[in-house]
Amino acid sequence: MKKWKAIAVVTASICLLGQSAVWAAAPAVSVKPKAETDAVASGDDAADDPAIWVHPKNKAKSRIIATNKGGGLLVYDLDGKQLYSYTTGKMNNIDVRYDFPLGKGKKVDIAAATNRTTNTIDIFAIDKDTGALENISGTPIVSLMPEVYGFALYHSLRTDKYYALVLGKEGEFEQYELSAGTDGKVNGTLVRSFSLASQSEGIVADDEYGVMYIAEEDAAIWKYDAEPGGGSTPLAKVDSADGNHLTADIEGLTIYYGEDGDGYLIASSQGNSTYAVYERGGDNEYETSFQIVDHKGVDGVTGTDGIDVLSFGLGSNYPKGIFVAQDDENLQNGEVINQNFKLVDWEEIADEADLDTDNDIDPRELEKRDRD
């Protein structure tokens, strides 16, 4: 884990009621992007959420699959070049899992996303050579909430079942068990639902620990049991949107898997354009924050929605892993153009923020381990 801890600065002031202390938030360290994706075709607030897919044979051919709220899904290579575009509806959040059992001994990698046009969860098979997508949704998984919003996948290492985790604009949560039909399509069965107090979008599941994290945008990050029988009461509050480590809105969440249960939970603090890093295990202790700044023609990142991270090396450009962030205001030669995603070498983040790099966790080989 982190080799040192930042020491908070205490500012004391004397007032009529006595002495009071104000804790100042530690400043975010600056990291430089290595690349950026092509801009999305739609204007305004369109790019939203990325998911990193690892190629089974050539890690440098891994892909970034991203949502375009203006009407579809996009697939990029690691240089940021757009390879595929799919007109599927107003897609909001996306996630990826590996080796989903599609029946008759066939396993496929899947990407799944919330579709706000049809108010459904859409499932896609990922071509294991090219990263191209094929819709394998069966009977439409239509949400009971008025408008689907946040999304994550969860693969239970306890039961080997796969789940879709969905959030709504009013804080609604639904969990669907995914299963393959005899036609090779994927269906969903509602197995749990509850509500948070206010709008929530960011959500991520830690498959190894069996927990999920939900970002209630103006309030806090909450930790829940990810199993369908986990109930509606949080296990813990990770942190609050109080302007210290997190400034509302709290947006995207992602998990950096480390060796022996180590690693990080990372959150997009949209209100001050930084990313807060927490220990993945235990009480999710706060580690540090970082921001992405201008570098060699690639502009810095502001107002991020979705993020994703991978601890696994993806070729010579990203030998220690990669971090991907949506950029709310994409600049080119000083002019604002359509939004895109920024790519950062994890080694750059680790060096500047004093975080781990000695991890090489292939998401395809993530094993169940007993955790306290």
pLDDT digits (tens, 9 = 90+) for 6-47: 333 333 332 333 333 334 456 899 999 999 999 999 888 899
Residues 6 or more apart in contact with residue 216 via CB below 8 angstroms: 171, 196, 197, 198, 199, 200, 222, 250
Q: How many residues in the chain?
A: 372
Q: What is the pLDDT of residue 76?
A: 98
37 vs 135: CA distance, rounded Å: 24
- Examine the pLDDT at 182 and tell me if it is beyond 70: yes
> What CATH homologous superfamily does 9-365 map to?
TolB, C-terminal domain (2.120.10.30)
Distance, in Å, from the CA atom of 288 to the CA atom of 30, rounded to the nearest integer, reads 11
Q: 153-171 pLDDT, tens per residue?
A: 999 999 999 999 999 999 9
Domain ranges of the chain: 9-365
Region 178-192: mean pLDDT is 97
Beta bridge partners of 342: 36, 325
Cβ burial of 222 (10 Å; 0-12, 13-18, 19+) is: buried
Helix, strand, coil distribution of the chain in percent, nearest 5: 5, 50, 45
Mean pLDDT score of the chain: 92
Residues 50-94 have pLDDT tens digits of 999 999 999 999 999 999 998 899 999 999 999 999 999 999 999
Q: Is the whole-model pTM more than 0.75?
A: yes
In tens, the pLDDT along 285-299 reads 999 999 999 999 999
